[in-house]
Amino acid sequence: MSLIEVLLSSAVIVAVIQYFQGEKNNKLQYITEERAKWRKEIKEIISEIRIADFQTIEKCLTDLGKNLNAYGYCPDGRYENDKLDFLKDEHIWREMDIIQNAVNEHNMPNFEKSKKNLIHYLFLLLKFDWERSKQEIKGEKAIPISIVSFGMGVIVCVFSRFPLKSIQENLINIFIFIIAFSLPYILLWVIYGIERMQILKAKDWYSKMDKVTLSFILVGVELGAILILAWKWKNFEMIFLFVAIAVLLVPYLIISNQEMYRKYDVSVRKILERRN
């Protein structure tokens, strides 16, 4: 049996592809349906805010509040510009509070100005959510591609390093080899997981490049090890191609995710600066 036949007939790879494909389809369907409903509600609220007056704005703000991140609400109304957490919608809650104060004071100029700012914030929120949906879909596609590509690289590497007839005799050596070979790749996904968790825990995490730098170092270690150890092996080009695709997809996901959040941050700050 040739190496290519082994790869194509691998039940493990087929199972992995089918599993991730099923998971991706289920998640995409749920995300699409729920976010479509949310976007529709926000768009309807924007239309209502645009024509609202002192008497009708309260209902608009109440409906809007139900669709925002409740963790961004400050009961005492003390929102500080330089400490606003945009991912908790604090800037939107702040603008809603300013509108409410304008209503209480019957200050029409401030009322109209804040309505425009609020509408602009909501447009940015819709755009951000749309970009985030696309980013998640991108991740759903890239992650299984990366894992399967790396798995293919490992299989080619094993069969290039150990003759097919001696596989059973070298199971322990093969296991150790796979672990050592996969360690940088596993660490890449650990970094990616930490980066994802920081979305909910750390403010301005997207402005820090330490995870990106570390991920590229691990990419260099993985590809460098292949160049050092495997350049004389058969199918070296195939090994390098599979592994390069797998490892480079991880920092790509980290960078594109950070860039999406960074753009939202910059856009919101422009409105805040204009208001001040």
Query: For the segment 209-222, what is each residue's pLDDT rounded down to a tens digit?
Result: 888 899 999 999 99
Q: What DSSP designation does 217 have?
A: H
C-alpha neighbours within 13 Å on the C-beta side of residue 104: 6
Count the domains in the chain.
1
Domain that holds residue 74: 3-275
CA distances from 120 to 95, 107, 275 (A): 11, 20, 12
Q: Enter the tokens of residue 98.
A: 């300013």
> Quick check: 91 and 121 in contact, CB under 8 A?
yes
**Residue 188 · residue 25 · CB < 8 Å:** no
- The model carries a pTM of 0.78
CB atoms within 10 A of CB 184: 20
The answer, yes or no, to whether residue 267 has pLDDT greater than 60, is: yes
Q: What percent of the chain has pLDDT over 70?
A: 86
Describe the crossing of helices 210-230 and 108-161 by its angle, rounded to 10 degrees.
10
Name the nearest CA neighbour of 85 among 269, 274, 271, 273.
269
Q: How confident is the model at residue 66 (pLDDT cuts 50, 70, 90)?
A: very high
Residue 275 has pLDDT above 80, yes or no: no
Residue bearing the bigger pLDDT, 156 or 116: 116
pLDDT for the residue numbered 74: 87
Overall average pLDDT of the 87-113 stretch: 93
User: What mean pLDDT is predicted for residues 127-138?
Assistant: 86
Q: Express the helix, strand and coil content of the chain in percent, nearest 5 each.
A: 85, 0, 15
- Please give the share of the chain, as a percent, with pLDDT higher than 90: 42
Q: How far apart are CA 178 and CA 201, in angstroms?
A: 34
Residue 120 scores a pLDDT above 90:
yes
Residue 1: what pLDDT? 46
Mean pLDDT across the chain, nearest whole number? 84
Assess whether pLDDT exceeds 80 at residue 201. Answer: no
Mean pLDDT highest for which of 45-54, 80-89, 176-185, 209-218? Answer: 45-54
Q: What is the pLDDT of residue 32?
A: 75
Is residue 274 over pLDDT 70? yes
